[in-house]
Amino acid sequence: MSVSEKRIVLVTGATGGLGTAMCKKLYDDGYVVVANYRNEEKAIEWQKHLHNEGYDIRIYYADVADYESCGKMIEKIAEEIGHVDVLVNNAGITKDGAFRKMTYENWRAVMATNLDSVFNCTRHVINHMIEKGFGRIINISSVNGQRGQFGQANYSAAKAGMHGFTKTLAMEVANKGVTVNTISPGYIGTDMVMAVKEEVRNQIISQIPIGRLGGTEEVAYLVSFLASEHANFITGANMSINGGQHVY
């Protein structure tokens, strides 16, 4: 398949643990993979590393918390490669702390990067997807948006908000060939999870019936499936992938 016939996927926050696994899997699936980053130095190193492993991935800067910045990135991708067919809203941060001590800055930072970002990127790609009659929006939420977590009022609110967005947009574009879904991973072996204090983390792992952290590639396989035409009839869904930690 020539590059011009391949579908284009944009993964935000691509240089993190989950993003890297998604980019590799989607590249293996045959997509043109475009990786969004905020930290240029880290992204260049990341790109080189993946190149050495045989992955040819384009990198584009945007601060996903900033609407204009996302617009410029998506316009540049359209000019240089083409319109985005699959958007994975994966960028996210944590600023954990008990709510009674949470600052307004830590509330805003998490809402902006984890939730505003979903609007900021999706708004710039959705009309082209509708025109084409095909598109995929995949929002990476969290088990902690489904059930809450001590110390994560900001993060849980943003992650729960993502799924509210998913449900509504899914209804609005269902008859246009565009699906919108949420994936809610549990605790996966990423730097973000490894930054949780060891004793707290071990206590959390003890509550996961499968008895371990998830693998980044396990989430990547679900992204790959939702992006594919096998998932044409799945929209507005929230898919849990959490080792049984939260069942309902």
Taking CA atoms, 34 is separated from 154, 190, 198, in Å, by 29, 21, 34
- Whichever of 125 and 193 has its CB closer to ligand CAA, that residue is 193
- DSSP 8-class letter at 214: B
Structure letter (DSSP) for residue 117? H
Yes or no: say if 218 and 17 are a contact pair by the CB < 8 Å rule: no
**Least distance in angstroms from the C-beta of 196 to ligand CAA:** 5
Closer residue to ligand CAA (CB): 101 or 133: 101
Residues of this chain that bind ligand CAA (CB under 6 A): 94, 96-98, 101, 142-144, 149-152, 155, 187, 192-193, 196-197, 200
Catalytic residue among 155, 187, 221, 248: 155
- CA atoms of 207 and 32, how far apart (whole Å): 38
The CA-based angle 199-203-208, given to 5 degrees, is: 145
Nearer to ligand CAA, 30 or 215 (CB): 215
Residues 6 or more apart whose CB falls under 8 angstroms from that of 211 comprise: 205, 243
Distance between terminal CA atoms of the chain?
42
Determine if residue 4 is left, alpha or beta; phi over 0 gives left, psi from -120 to 50 gives alpha, anything else beta.
alpha
Q: Which is nearer to ligand CAA, 148 or 177 (CB)?
A: 148
d(CA 236, CA 182): 7
**Minimum gap (Å) between residue 223 Cβ and ligand CAA:** 15
Min separation Cβ 185 and ligand CAA, Å? 6
Query: What angle in degrees, to the nearest 10, is found between the helix axes of 216-227 and 17-29?
Result: 50
CB of 208 to ligand CAA, least distance (A): 11
Catalytic residue flag (residue 55) = no
63/96 with CB nearer ligand CAA: 96
**Cβ-closest residue to ligand CAA?**
151
Nearest approach, Cβ of 222 to ligand CAA (angstroms)?
Answer: 15
Residue 66: Cβ within 10 Å count = 16
Catalytic residues: 155
